[in-house]
Amino acid sequence: MSERSNIIDLLWHNSLVGKFVTLAMVVAFLIMGTNAFINYQSQKDTSLANIISQSEMLGSFIVSITPEAILSYDYDALDNYMEEINKGEDIVYAIILTPEGRPLTSYVDRRNSFIVEKMRNTKKLKLEKLIDDLNKNKFIIQQSFPIFFQNNLLGDFKVGISKSRIEKDLKNKLINQIIVSLILTVLLGIGIFIVFRLYTMKPILQLIQGAQRIAGGTLDKKVKIKSNDELGRLGEVFNQMMDKLRTSIEDKDEALVTVKELNLYLEERVIDRTKELKGVNEQLEKLAMNDSLTGLPNRFCIQNRLNNLFIEAKRDNSVFTVVMMDLDRFKDINDTLGHDCGDQLLIEVGLRLKDILRPSDFLGRLGGDEFAILLTETDENNAKTVAQKIQSALEPSFYLSEMAFSIAASIGIATYPQHGSTTSTILKSADVAMYYAKQNKLEYCIYNPGADRNTPDRLSLMGELRQAIHEDQLELFYQPEVDLSSRRIIGVEALVRWNHPERGFIPPDDFIPMAEQSGLIRPLTYWVLNSAIRQREKWHDMGIDILISINISMHNLNDTEFAPQLEMLLQNTDVPVEYFEFEVTESSIMDNPDHVVEVMDKLNTLNVSFAVDDFGTGYSSLSLLKKLPVHKLKIDKSFIMEMETDSDDEAIVHSVIDMAHILGLNVIAEGVENEKVIQLLTSLGCDLVQGYHISRPLPAKLITPMLEHGSWDADNGHSGAVHNLR
């Protein structure tokens, strides 16, 4: 039984003949079945078309013969027509309706299974309800034909025709065709099996037996296939392969010996090569993690170590500090002595820094002349000590190209977690602190968010300032300027103020530098100009004719559009141009004196006057003052506020007043806070004064009564809660 099962399995389930016969039968059955289904669909469409055509002929016939019966109320004739319709085998119902939908006569095929079911379930079946249900049946085709007589609608003929009989006949035909196709397919499969078994499978079985003998180690019995086709040629090739295989087995032992020797050689080479690659990888890792010049860890290695410090600090709830430093005047050494000397200096700086650090500290070179030191378990106070040690270590001279050089460093300090909770933020904080130390010539600086120009709060405030300018949320305050000889108010200085709706009062020292750095100084200046001109027009209409001073910055002087815009604003006001004065700080003038002289000369053609603000802080020369088209010097308040107790300040103020008068300039002293200073300035010949003793800066509605009064004395001085900050 087992042998017979194996033969069947070989001849059918796992044999080519079984697969081929199965495939041929499936393909043949699919073709014949598809053909039968296509015929079924074609006959179905033809039959339905015939039904519709017959119903249309019936409808045309009824429509043509019924008008006379309808007009003569001959209902017997109409009933007879319905009797004729009864002869139609597939007609389920027919009905003639009035234009109002009332049935005149009808026919219902009570043999229809659907109608029989309805009548069985309902004692009294209404005709309209029955026809409505029939129309919902998918096996019934409904058609409607209007009945006209001389273009007058007499009624409507509706007929329902069943598709059931036709579809049933067609389905029976389809089943018969499929059965016939199945029988033909089986017969075809039997025929193919017999032919394939006799002429194809026999040689294949012989090849299988030959391959089994080779697998068992028998290589001397050839396959005998008596055929001239491809299978015969395959048998010949099979026998040739068996001969070559027998020959190759004889040479196998020699090949195995050779392969074994080669394997031993390759193993030795792999061991040597692995050692070489390990050394190369170690060298590459060192190059990737260390600076090639100083041998110190590079930026990538510093960041990796910093990431680990963050993990340890968060786990142990500990602190650590990042110290960032760069060398002062390193570029000068590079440019003067060459890059070789600069490189040697960096190497020696690295060696000195190593000597002063603990073994647990981490020193690396960020690039250029910047170094980073990571101090574990170190707070701000201890970091200050390290910064001082660094400066001390750099104090001894460096000897480069047989020359001695002294060099210092700018150091920034940032501590976790106060100054940053990520690698990038704490490095940025240390960098900001280092930059601040360099700008302010400090030995070291601890990070202060207030000095960071790129904090999120500062960026947010910048956007809010832009909005405040556009939405007119700012306000001008005015501080009077008094003539000492007449004690009368001869002018006011316009000062911008910002009372933020949420943050409260924001000092001008906070938002004006921010405006200069961000480019908002241009719209801010135009806002101040417009507001000051409008207020000056109101005072002019009230009969108050005083000078109004407006501050402009170096950024305005560098703006090529400033002069044309200013000219346009001044031309559009009824106030004489001579009542406007523009103040420029001495430090702004000294940034680019030649350019400032050129711009001020152009603006002077508009007949406006200029004053040098904060005089004494910018170190301008007499020759420059002679070139500037200015009419007034405003002595900086830092000299005025201490002059009554500091003889040096008094001497400086006296010298400035005398020098200005020699040059034909008036002098105004700002920062006057008591009567004694006024008396001292009067004795020195000062022309004008300004300060809290006169009045604090006030909004227009509060300062207007003072301007109407005109004169000033110590007893009616005004003060307010707003600081005089610009």
Interval 381-408: pLDDT, tens: 899 999 999 999 998 988 877 777 788 8
**How many other CB atoms sit within 10 Å of the CB of residue 197?**
15
* 616 & 674 share domain: yes
CA angle at residue 711 from 710 to 712, to 5 degrees? Answer: 130
Q: How far is CA 358 from CA 325, 373, 382, in A?
A: 18, 11, 13
**Residue range 625-683, pLDDT digits in tens:** 778 889 999 998 888 988 888 888 899 899 999 998 998 999 999 999 999 999 999 99
In a domain, 244, yes or no: no
Both 356 and 475 in one domain: the answer is no
Q: What pLDDT is recorded for position 721?
A: 32
Q: Note whether residue 543 is domain-resident.
A: yes
Residues forming a β-bridge with 146:
156
**188 part of a folded domain:** no
436 vs 422: CA distance, rounded Å:
21
Beta-carbon contacts of residue 660 (< 8 Å; ≥ 6 apart)? 633, 666, 667
Structural contact between residues 185 and 32, judged by C-beta atoms closer than 8 angstroms: yes
Q: Which of 118, 153, 169 is the last residue before a domain boundary?
A: 169
Whether residue 285 is contained in a domain is answered as no
The last residue of one of the domains, among 429, 452, 475, is: 452
The domain boundary, picked from 452, 479, 507, lies at: 452
**Backbone dihedral region for residue 287 (phi beyond 0: left; psi -120 to 50: alpha; all else: beta):** alpha
Q: How many residues does the chain have?
A: 726
Q: In which residue are the tokens 């008596």 written?
A: 226
Summarised one tens digit per residue, pLDDT across range 105-138 is 888 877 777 777 766 666 555 676 777 777 777 7
Span 21-50, average pLDDT = 81
| Per-residue tokens: 565 | 């815009």
Question: What pTM was estimated for this model as a whole?
Answer: 0.45
356 and 480: one domain?
Answer: no
Whether residues 371 and 416 share a domain: the answer is yes
Other residues' Cβ atoms within 10 Å of the Cβ of residue 274 = 10
> Residue 508: inside a domain, yes or no?
yes
Which is nearest to 668 in space by CA: 697, 653, 692, 690?
690
Percent of the chain with pLDDT over 90: 21
The DSSP H or E segment spanning 415 is strand 409-416
Residues 419 and 469 grouped into a single domain: no
Domain-located, residue 717: no
Q: Read off the pLDDT of residues 473-503 as tens digits, 9 standing for 90 and up.
A: 899 999 999 999 999 999 999 999 999 888 8
Question: Which residues, including other chains, have CB under 8 Å from residue 352's CB and lie 6 or more apart?
Answer: 393, 394
State whether 342 and 436 are in the same domain. Answer: yes
The two three-digit tokens of residue 123, written as one number:
């004692």
Cα gap 614→493, rounded to integer Å: 14
3-state secondary structure of 21: helix
Say if residue 203 is preceded by a cis peptide, omega within 30 of 0. no
Q: Which two tokens stand for residue 10?
A: 């070989």
The larger pLDDT score, comparing residue 254 to residue 598, is at 598
pLDDT confidence tier of residue 182, bands split at 50, 70 and 90: confident
**439/470 same-domain check:** no
Q: Quick count: other Cβ atoms within 10 Å of Cβ 136?
A: 8
As to burial, measured by CB atoms within 10 angstroms (0-12 exposed, 13-18 middle, 19+ buried), residue 404 is exposed
Q: Are residues 523 and 430 part of one domain? A: no
| Residue at token pair 């018969």 | 176
Beta-strand ranges (E) seen in 195-310 are none
Question: 545-558 burial by CB neighbour count: b if 16+ within 10 A, else e?
Answer: ebbbbbbbbbbbbe
State the CATH number of the domain containing residue 103: 3.30.450.20
User: Residue 151 to residues 100, 154, 558, 623: CA-CA distances in angstroms?
Assistant: 17, 9, 94, 115
Residue type for position 446: I
Looking at the structure, tell me whether residues 434 and 475 fall in a common domain.
no
611 DSSP β-pair partners: 583, 632
Residue 101 lies in a domain: yes
With H, G, I as helix, E, B as strand and everything else as coil, classify residue 322. Answer: strand
459 domain-assigned: no
Residue range 40-67: mean pLDDT, rounded: 82
555 in the same domain as 666: yes
**pLDDT for 140:** 82
444 and 334 fall within a common domain: yes
Domain tally, the chain = 3
Same domain, 482 and 556: yes
Average pLDDT value for residue range 172-187: 83
> Residue 104 and residue 111: Cα distance in Å, rounded?
22
Residue 621's pLDDT is: 61
Note down the domain range covering 529.
465-711
User: What are the angstrom distances between the C-alpha of 465 and each of 258, 459, 512?
Assistant: 86, 10, 10
Place of tokens 């700018």: 410
CATH number, domain of 383, equals: 3.30.70.270
